[in-house]
Amino acid sequence: MSKVPTITLNNGVEMPQIGYGVWQVPDGEAATAVATAIEAGYRSIDTAAIYENERGTGKGLTASDVARDELFVTTKLWNSASETWTRESVLREFDASLDKLGLDYVDLYLIHWPRAMRDDYLTIYRTFVEIAASGRAKAIGVSNFQPEQLERVIAETSVVPAVNQIELHPNFAQAELRALHARHGIVTEAWSPLGQGRGLLEDPTLARIAAKHGKTAAQIVLRWHVELGNVAIPKSVTPSRIRENIDVFDFALDADDLAAIAGLDNGTRLGPDPAEFDFN
């Protein structure tokens, strides 16, 4: 049994608070990586069409002896060609993802980037609502959406996204979006939750808190996400780190720890700014 607690999404679906992200895992290695993660106790896997490893991810899922209804699988609709999305092209992309994963439903389907300059995310989202109604996605949400885009999909469709998956780590804590999510009942899911393992994990403040709890800096950061109420999807292909990143449920941060980590927020974004990102 997995010890990872779940968060209840706004439609009643349960989502594990720590999942395993497979960005940059080659398709040929994804099955082994996913199987290792499931063996370690992960039940939630985060992939995307653009990661080009949905096939390998699917193989890892079916190779495990964990029942499908105990697993939580997320994939994402890529920005794709310069075409404007239509209902038909969204449905086609969704079918292609299901086919590669070898699944008849996903637990969560996300719009990967809003590309607000193209103004077609409402068409995409309305089709997602249709997909959810068919039961082929248990929940739908968005990724990299900014406040105005969230407010617009809610106003136009009355269907509140279950999740907004955004860059979030102690150096980029996203207070404004987190507050907006809380007001609307949207779960905040953190991508690059470890700050991509770059300088953040060598930070002396995190080292001090890690020593105090007998944990690693990565575990302190992941515990911080859990206590904030975020979902986090750390990535590693190293089996010992895969296990380490889920071993964060036997200790708690205190108020001093949380205040010190809050002091690390310096507005450093590692990924693209969603306001400008239109990658095809």
Q: Which amino acid is at 240?
A: S
Q: How far apart are CA 31 and CA 1, in angstroms?
A: 21
Cβ-Cβ contacts under 8 Å for 173 (sequence gap 6 or more) = 262, 265
Among 78, 172, 191, 224, binds ligand NAD (CB under 6 A): 191
CB closer to ligand NAD, 195 vs 257: 195
Closest to ligand NAD by CB, 167 or 257: 167
Indicate the residue among 250 and 256 with the shorter CB distance to ligand NAD. Answer: 250
Reported residue count of the chain is 280
Judge whether 42 counts as a catalytic residue: no
**Cβ contacts of 47 within 8 Å, gap of 6 or more:** 22, 30, 53, 54, 57, 73, 74, 75, 76, 101
What are residue 85's phi and psi, to 5 degrees? -70, 140
Contact flag: residue 192 with ligand NAD (CB under 6 A):
yes
Query: Shortest Cβ distance from residue 171 to ligand NAD (Å)?
Result: 11
Site for ligand NAD in 144-183 (CB under 6 A): 144, 165
Region near ligand NAD per CB under 6 A, out of 132-140, 147-155, 195-203, 258-266: 195-203
CA distances from 141 to 19, 166, 271 (A): 16, 11, 20
Site for ligand NAD in 227-266 (CB under 6 A): 233-236, 241, 244-245
Interatomic CA distance for residues 268 and 137, integer angstroms: 33
Q: Which is nearer to ligand NAD, 58 or 234 (CB)?
A: 234
CA distance 107 to 68: 10
Number of H helices and E strands in the chain, helices first, is: 10, 10
By the rule CB under 6 A, 201 interacts with ligand NAD: yes
Which residue in 92, 229, 271, 279 binds ligand NAD (CB under 6 A)? Answer: 271
Q: Which is nearer to ligand NAD, 17 or 144 (CB)?
A: 144
Which region, judged by CB under 6 A, interacts with ligand NAD, from 18-26, 31-39, 149-157, 205-213? 18-26
Q: Give least dist CB 153 to ligand NAD, A.
A: 17
Q: What track of x and - describes contact with ligand NAD for positions 104 through 133 (by CB under 6 A)?
A: --------x---------------------
C-beta separation of 107 from 154 below 8 A: no
277 binds ligand NAD (CB under 6 A): no
d(CA 40, CA 2): 8
**Which one-letter DSSP state was computed for residue 186?**
P
* Residues contributing to the site for ligand NAD (CB under 6 A): 21-23, 46, 112, 143-144, 165, 191-197, 201, 216, 218, 233-236, 241, 244-245, 271
Report the catalytic residues. 51
